[in-house]
Amino acid sequence: MTTATARAHPNIALVKYWGKRDEELMLPAAGSLSLTLDAYATTTTVSLDPSATEDRFVLGGAAATPGQTVQVTRFLDLVRARAGSAARADSSAHAVVDSRNEAPTGAGLASSASGFAALAVAAAAAYGLDLDRTELSRLARRGSGSATRSLVAGLGIWHAGDDDASSFAEPIEGPEMSMVIVTVDPGQKKVSSREGMRRTAATSPYYSGWVDSTARSLEEMSAACRAGDFTRVGEITESNALRMHAAIEACEPPIRYLRSTSVAVFDAVEQLRTRGIEAYATADAGPNVVVISRPAEAEAVAEHLADHGDVRIVGAGPGAHLIPTEESA
């Protein structure tokens, strides 16, 4: 196959990934756990073009920036190297990558996760590689850490691993939950997660505490998931997110992803709990807040938070997968 199309969804981490042990291999400092969503898909078509002299990356119908194109080329180089060692025809061909995001890029809704997960699946197929989910998860990791988890449907755990082979995501059982995404600011984030992670590791006095406590939170979270304990899952989610932001805010120069509008959502969620509605908040490297709740209470949570921004209820979605190329047109 020289053209392939894949679809992937972003995921929201309940135990966050923030910090790398190995930048080249993209090995994380600690494992993480997330829910792959059923919304905000990325659909990506990779078409090999043996006559082209460079890769082309079209994002949302327009030529991507040179920086974005370099990232895609580096990723395709990994796929080409693999296809070359598997002696595939066309293994050195350049490609046209056409990608569409249903979520605003860079707003902290993890379009890098769905983007690289879709690219991994489409590129592997276009270059003729037959990879299983674990291998695709490892490949997606090289593009963006959070993409590792978007290969998995629903709840997925990304094992930190010791090396390239052992650092991948796999499914984990857990309680049913909905997520209410509260978009308080749809703009681009100011500091990329790559730069934010580097700065946190290099300058935050809380970085080692963050890494150690995340490894413990992941163990506790896995146990709570397996036990179907929604309350404990929610409690760990909220404290893990606040610990991540505390470590980030302690950088020099400081980085603050949360705005006052974000903190107001955390306050409103606490208020919901005092009224007996179990909801717990988390936030990635941006100002938007994601609130987890039991599915039956998601509407009430969304209604309570509607004054704070755009609200959207989402649930568990599929892992990254191939689709017929015509469907993307």
Find the binder of ligand PMV among 79, 121, 285, 316 (CB under 6 A). Answer: 285
CB of 55 or CB of 284, closer to ligand PMV: 284
Judged by CB, which is closer to ligand PMV: 288, or 293? 288
Residue 40: left (phi > 0), alpha (psi -120 to 50), or beta?
left
Pick from 16, 94, 199, 245: which binds ligand PMV (CB under 6 A)? 16
Residue 150 sits in the site that holds ligand PMV (CB under 6 A): no
Among 5, 69, 71, 144, binds ligand PMV (CB under 6 A): 144
110 contributes a contact to ligand PMV by CB under 6 A:
yes
225 counts as binding ligand PMV under rule CB under 6 A: no
Q: Verify binding: residue 138, ligand PMV, rule CB under 6 A.
A: no
Return d(Cα 208, Cα 46) in angstroms, integer.
40
Q: Of the listed pieces 110-118, 201-209, 228-236, 309-317, which binds ligand PMV according to CB under 6 A?
A: 110-118
Measured from the CB of residue 207, what is the shortest distance to ligand PMV in angstroms? Answer: 14
Minimum distance from CB of 236 to ligand PMV (Å)? 14
What residues does 153 pair with on adjacent strands? none
**Which residue do the tokens 């995404």 mark?**
181
Contact residues: ligand PMV, CB under 6 A: 13, 16-18, 32, 110, 112-113, 144-146, 193-194, 284-285
